[in-house]
Amino acid sequence: MSDANVRLLQSDDLSVLIHLENLCFNASWSETQLQKQLNGERNIGFAYLINQKVSGFVIFSTLFDEAELLQIGIDPALQGQGLAGNLLTQAHRELQTRQITRILLEVRDSNRAAISLYHRLGYQQDGIRKGYYPAEQGAAGLGREDAVLMSCNL
């Protein structure tokens, strides 16, 4: 891959992924789920390295010429500096070389940082899945939250 800061995730990245996942998400994937996502036959993940340290990651599941963005996270200490954009741009390029033409994702309606990032990277909103997520702890409302469905053509 052309960018020295981005490389493919490997199965021995599991412990650092668990650490990042816990830092980034309230309701995070369990170790077993992460292991499954990391080693899934159709999955491909990318690590973002700062000073040789994995500081962000993104994991996709692929099917034929489409990929679903399953999870993306940047170390909270480094958020707001455009790192996720760099990571996703590199990941898009690599997926293109693997004949992927379209990426789909779903994101919590309240996740403004992520939605803004996806728009900037050329994703468009395709629809809303009502009450798809359990509300996060401390959120107002009746206990469910909508998912925003987005996609982009590579």
* DSSP assignments along 49-62, one per residue: EETTEEEEEEEEEE
Q: Is 66 a catalytic residue?
A: no
Q: Is 41 a catalytic residue?
A: no
| Span near ligand COA by CB under 6 A; candidates 11-19, 38-46, 109-117, 143-151 | 109-117
Q: Which CB, 5 or 99, lies closer to ligand COA?
A: 5
Rounded-to-integer distance, Cα 95 and Cα 72, Å: 15
Q: Which CB, 54 or 107, lies closer to ligand COA?
A: 107
Rounded-to-integer distance, Cα 61 and Cα 10, Å: 15
Identify residues 8-47 at the interface with ligand COA (CB under 6 A): 24-25
Residue 84 touches ligand COA, criterion: CB under 6 A: yes
3-state secondary structure of 131: strand
- Dihedral Cα 98, 103, 104, 106, nearest 10 deg: 100
Site for ligand COA, rule CB under 6 A: 24-25, 71-74, 79-85, 107, 111, 113-114, 116-117, 120
